Amino acid sequence: DAGVIQSPRHEVTEMGQEVTLRCKPISGHNSLFWYRQTMMRGLELLIYFNNNVPIDDSGMPEDRFSAKMPNASFSTLKIQPSEPRDSAVYFCASSRGTGANQPQHFGDGTRLSIL
């Protein structure tokens, strides 16, 4: 079975540019999570969706970040305008069901570098 698929795997762009990260969750999973991982702060939850609806976006750093889930098989995380401090690895994860007691399955991430 295909796991969580993220694209691109690497992105290097100049500050001020718009960045769009993409995620395809595991088929049949109802919850989707976006995380950011840095050496300074570890793994941080940015936002998550249940049944395509954003439930908690309290981890989104600021208004420059936005996320959408137009359907059950696709989500995007957008940064506009990007800044060097946004450089990190961004992970998408999905889980079956919408409650606790569910393992989340992670993609291999997008390594983002903002120059």
- Using the rule CB under 8 A, is 104 a contact of another protein? yes
Site for another protein in 55-94 (CB under 8 A): 55-56, 91, 93
User: Of the ranges 18-26, 32-40, 63-71, 76-84, which one interacts with another protein (CB under 8 A)?
Assistant: 32-40
The smaller minimum CB distance to another protein, of residues 18 and 83, is found at 83
Contact 91, 34 (CB under 8 A): yes
28 in Cβ contact with 96 (< 8 Å): yes
Task: Establish if 18 lies at the interface with another protein (CB under 8 A).
Answer: no
- Print the SS3 string covering 2-70: CCCEEECCEEEECCCCCEEEEEECCCCCCEEEEEEEECCCEEEEEEEEECCEEEECCCCCCCCEEEEEE
CB of 101: closest distance to another protein in angstroms? 4
Query: What's the closest the beta carbon of residue 62 comes to another protein, in angstroms?
Result: 21
